[in-house]
Amino acid sequence: NTDGLLIFSTYYGETDILTNYQRGFPMVVLHRIPPKGTDIPAVLFDNQPGVRQLIDHLIEVHGRRRIVFLHGPLGNDDSAAREHAYRESLLTHKIPFDANLIERGDYHELGGRDAIRRLLAAGVDFDAVFCGDDEAATGVLDAVRQAGRRVPEDVAVVGFDDVTIARHLNPPLTTVRAPIQEAGRQAVRALLS
């Protein structure tokens, strides 16, 4: 009883997508790359310019060199594109990549908090955190403060999405604006057509 699918979740796997594609079922994927060999419409953000600008800003303006990168959920295409931009910025500034600065925040508050606690428990030194989304950033802020570190003096924290709460945090969260509502509208238009 469904006329079409907007697929946002990574939990709806590639096998399921391919099965429905072979049946000719109308689908549009949102924030992920469609399986190879298909012509399924997709609506994606160009993550790289915004992430590059943010990491460049942390390095050039604030002198940060030990920047943590928090991943989203496994298999998330946006997260992979954001990490690519992070690595490009480090390379451009001749900052060696350190795998110890990569953690998984899973795009939620608890994931961000737990990631920072793991880094602190392991004794990893860092002076900035790039969060793959603003919700994870709220957990990061909490964990950093609980560890007795000041934001932004000791640790700069930046996010992605520019959700409403970002401007109400103390200090307000520096974040990249992602047109989430417009992406949803375009996905619906593509599915209806």
List pLDDT tens digits, range 113-145.
999 999 999 999 999 999 989 999 999 999 999
List the one residue out of 158, 142, 157, 71 whose CA is nearest residue 106.
71
Question: Under 8 Å CB-to-CB from 161, ≥6 apart: which residues?
Answer: 133, 134, 175, 176, 177, 178, 180
List the one residue out of 39, 25, 29 whose CA is nearest residue 8.
29
List pLDDT tens digits, range 56-78.
999 999 999 999 999 998 878 88
Looking only at Cα atoms, what is the longest distance across the chain?
A: 56
Question: Under 8 Å CB-to-CB from 10, ≥6 apart: which residues?
Answer: 32, 73, 74, 75, 76
Q: Which pLDDT value is given to residue 163? A: 83
